[in-house]
Amino acid sequence: MKLEVKFYNKVNDKDLKFAVIMARYDGKWIFCKHKERETYEIPGGHRELDETILDTAKRELQEETGAIEFKIEPISVYSVTGKKRVNSNGGETFGMLFYAEVHSFNDILEDEIDKIEFFYNIPINLTYPEIQPYLYNKVIEIKGMN
């Protein structure tokens, strides 16, 4: 089954399980390379118990990129339907897509992240090629970027 990505203006906050952050630094997009994969991914992750979705986004951005000074804003609710590594039943799961401008970093990344790299455009070698281009394009559209 092919994965399907949809965007929503709003859903119930409790349904938001993930935060994904399209982040830029010095005019380039920030992508993470996981230690166990040869592909690139957008910073993001699971919402913790009793955490706001904005706090999830800030925490994940800090853990996965080392960002310490940044401005972050919500862009859109998104959903993914179909079986994947983080959703074995294939039902619709919801997340919030954010945009961040990073101003500075520290050198500490979460253990699972090998490194971050900077790109002018979305890289070809993506971990989630059926999802990530839609999120990237939504940010480009909403922010009026080319």
Pairwise CA distance, residues 30 & 82, whole Å:
26
* Cα 130–Cα 128–Cα 102 angle in degrees, nearest 5: 115
- Per-residue confidence (pLDDT) for residue 85, from 0 to 100: 58
Pairwise CA distance, residues 123 & 119, whole Å:
7
Secondary element (H or E) of residue 142 = helix 132-143
pTM of the model: 0.93
pLDDT tens for each residue of 70-127: 999 999 999 999 875 555 667 899 999 999 999 999 988 888 899 999 999 999 999 9
Mean pLDDT of the chain: 93
Looking at residue 37, which CATH number applies to its domain? 3.90.79.10
pLDDT bucket at 1, cuts 50 / 70 / 90 = low
pLDDT tens for each residue of 127-143: 999 999 999 999 999 99
User: Do 43 and 65 meet the contact criterion of CB atoms below 8 Å apart?
Assistant: yes
Q: How many domains does the chain have?
A: 1
pLDDT tens for each residue of 30-66: 999 999 999 999 999 999 999 999 999 999 999 999 9
Is the pLDDT at 145 greater than 90? The verdict is no
Question: Strand runs (DSSP E) across the chain, as ranges?
Answer: 4-8, 16-25, 28-34, 40-41, 44-46, 67-81, 92-105, 113-119
The domain containing residue 23 runs over which residues? 4-143
- Per-residue confidence (pLDDT) for residue 86, from 0 to 100: 56
- Per-residue confidence (pLDDT) for residue 50, from 0 to 100: 93
Pairwise CA distance, residues 14 & 12, whole Å:
6
Residue 119 pairs with which residues in a beta bridge?
29
